[in-house]
Structure 1
């Protein structure tokens, strides 16, 4: 929908809760610009969806930030990816004046630095060669596009030097002819390779359609940078996440666990009882009738939710992995009441009560670490399983998922495997989250030993953890 159409009655209704005309104009303009930003970030928004969003805004308090974001998410986000982009864009665009000024200054400085790099690249790709006449010289350069220059600026210094030597040699070997176009074609092929390579590494120019508007481009750049940082953290070994990135990682895992909690809470099963219409299955079963709803399909909420027995290795090499898994499970506690948590190294401790007191996870985790006598010591899984099966046998039931977080390296591994084998007969399933990289499994004897009595998954990144929990907990 064109902006002129949006400035009609729909927008007036959307901002009717604001009385002052100048405030109305300001909010209206911001709505337009925000839709513009979403489109430039790749969120597809049709005319009808725009109208839906504006109508939704007309039904809420436009001065309530949470209500506004919720309305936009409900009407514009069609996929999990859209929700992430919209959430980050909303946070960046509807920021305080101080943050806006800081972002504008940062964006301006980045543009100036980019301009200096581009100018330097042009100079580096210019050469002065001997002319056809005695004492004559001529200046030649590579006619590259702006995008190709940006790729060149991102190249490693050693690669730049090698490319410059190659170009100089090519020009000097053709003192009479004008080989610029031919050599430029060769350079473009090389830069296209590097563009792909840098993109895979995450170091290439951001693939976003900038507008030329400094404020909007600043928001776009901030969103792209943040998404890139989050993606890098998502696939990075948890052990290698820096302290600087820990707050971002913690926020990301909180979002992941909340999303899974929502899916668990909303699960349904198919039913012949007329309790709740299953619209998707109804449409699919009635396509043969031209869309007329002859055959209605129903579903009822699944009452049974998984019971979880979490056993985390917190020895020296495992402590950080365990902390992230504990945080993930903490986020599920709102919909899964039966989560029992234990930590172990040389001994074992039950920490379930630490997470049931309606306090921040960080506070609970700090208390556990400070109080624990086992955090960061050696590993004895056999002793931990002995204590759990002996003192907490009531937790080992036919509807219990046992989740073990460990790299399998433990004392008394044979005896631990024997206890695990016996436990496997009594529980619903045993999931082993192995933080050891998959390429090392064949060289680690304890992996095959414990794998016989559990379903083992590689789990050393947030991406691994998210996928395992989504695919296994929703079965």
Structure 2
């Protein structure tokens, strides 16, 4: 059970559920206390030691059911095989006496199956006189277990062969055939192949029987590898897929992956929020507030038990986000807004603006509507052909006077202005008034300034410009933004 626990923890980690060495020791101690007889008690005890949130608890229960149900199935087949031998003699006599009526047909079918395996064994034993490979098979454990349908013996043998073959490392569906062949070779299926060749040369009537049991073995091994693939590879494949999506251009992500990417954005936002959350500390340095300290000591006959320090009042920072929602960059704007509004516990007061040919504030949409619905309405209201000059003129009327030295402005767009007036003077005014201006461009740096791109001119009025076309780059930029706003 200790080895099973370690395998189970590996699967939890592959499903993005962090388990530390200390938590592993706690889980082992919990297993020793509650025992293994009651499945629900074991499930709840491990959940208390390994799951630390509702999301992790959901992942834990899913992995527990997948892993321990299979372990229980293997254990039950071994138990059935062990008890069936002890009850064969008495069971056959009692069944013969009990089923004399209408159920006799079903009992006869069971006896026919038992007789079938017995006749197959006799047929193969007779053919073994002319086949040394077949005789070797009959003297071993594999073929007798197939003839007697000893599921526990076969399951144990497959598990051991799977461990020797490193089946727990299976990650891709294309590896299933490779591991199936390794396990079959470890079980001794090559002896069955040799015996089939010998029986073919001898033109033996037992060849069809041996082929049938060979096919049964192959099918059982394929099913075993399939179960292990589903259990071991799912978490790794999910992590692999997320890594690919984080490096894929947001405009190229297919609609069927949109939900997965949105969940990935939320997870990134939680990670950044945890990293940059405010840590409150009492002020123990600076200038002593003498008046407040003396007044506090009056209740103690002037003894200054508690000192008070002057704290500098800091003006609250604000963030203004301007997002181009025209057709070419709408996808990027959607994910940036999703990122920013998933960080409301960490970010300062945020005002959002959407633009294409004209600009408008959409902060109220995020207050009144769910996040996805607000982004959809913003795209619908302000989408269209791009005119940065007109949009900047609208912005100067709406919010230019609100910008001060505590304001950070983040602009997302490709700076392609369709040969219009770029209104560079307004951008320079934003630059002079604000704490920082950050421009995120979905295009690579090589495309800046080509065609109708005004990016090189706008770059002169920005504190920081960077290409931002995928989630990985977006997370890096937002991380730097949060550091600067501390």
Which residue does 1:256 correspond to in 2? Answer: 268
Which residue does 1:292 correspond to in 2? Answer: none
Q: Which has the larger radius of gyration?
A: 2
Gaps of 5+ in 1: 5-28, 76-83, 101-106, 120-211, 275-299
Three-state SS of the structure 2 residue aligned to 1:247 is: helix
1:352-372 deviation per Cα after TM superposition (whole angstroms, max 9, x unaligned): 011113x531222233344x1
Matched, 1:452 2:476: no
How far is 1:321 from its partner?
1.1
Which residue does 2:366 correspond to in 1? Answer: 355
Contact 1:268 1:302 in 2 (8 A): no
Give the count of matched residue pairs: 310
Contact 1:89 1:223 in 2 (8 A): no
Which residue does 2:241 correspond to in 1? Answer: 229
Contact 2:333 2:412 in 1 (8 A): yes
Matched, 1:467 2:476: yes
How far is 1:95 from its partner?
6.0
Which residue does 1:314 correspond to in 2? Answer: 325
Three-state SS of the structure 2 residue aligned to 1:245 is: helix
Matched, 1:364 2:343: no
Contact 2:12 2:63 in 1 (8 A): no
Question: Normalising by the residue count of structure 2, what TM-score does the alignment of the two structures yield?
Answer: 0.53
Which residue does 1:72 correspond to in 2? Answer: 50
Matches within 5 A, 1:200-215: 215=227
Distance in structure 2 (CA, Å) of the matches to 1:416 and 1:55: 68
Distance in structure 2 (CA, Å) of the matches to 1:441 and 1:387: 24
Matched, 1:325 2:336: yes
How far is 1:438 from its partner?
2.5
Distance in structure 2 (CA, Å) of the matches to 1:366 and 1:332: 19
Which residue does 2:402 correspond to in 1? Answer: 395
Gaps of 5+ in 2: 34-39, 71-167, 182-223, 287-310
Distance 1:94 1:353, change over 3 A: farther
Distance 1:218 1:322, change over 3 A: same
1:32-65 deviation per Cα after TM superposition (whole angstroms, max 9, x unaligned): 653242578899977544224567999xxx99x9
Which residue does 1:50 correspond to in 2? Answer: 24
Question: Normalising by the residue count of structure 1, what TM-score does the alignment of the two structures yield?
Answer: 0.54
More helix by share: 2
Partner of residue 177 from structure 2, selected from 112, 115, 128: 115
Matched, 1:346 2:357: yes
Partner of residue 8 from structure 2, selected from 34, 57, 69: 34
Distance in structure 1 (CA, Å) of the matches to 2:312 and 2:49: 26
Distance 1:46 1:383, change over 3 A: closer
Contact 2:176 2:229 in 1 (8 A): no
Matched, 1:241 2:257: no
How far is 1:437 from its partner?
1.7
Contact 1:268 1:301 in 2 (8 A): no
Distance 1:327 1:48, change over 3 A: closer
How far is 1:392 from its partner?
2.4
Distance in structure 2 (CA, Å) of the matches to 1:387 and 1:66: 58
Distance 1:367 1:39, change over 3 A: closer
How far is 1:3 from its partner?
1.6
Matches within 5 A, 1:76-475: 90=60, 93-94=63-64, 114-115=176-177, 215=227, 217-267=229-279, 272-273=284-285, 306-357=317-368, 359-370=369-380, 372=381, 374-375=382-383, 377-411=384-418, 415-441=422-448, 443=450, 446-454=454-462, 455-475=464-484
Distance in structure 2 (CA, Å) of the matches to 1:95 and 1:303: 52
1:148-181 deviation per Cα after TM superposition (whole angstroms, max 9, x unaligned): xxxxxxxxxxxxxxxxxxxxxxxxxxxxxxxxxx
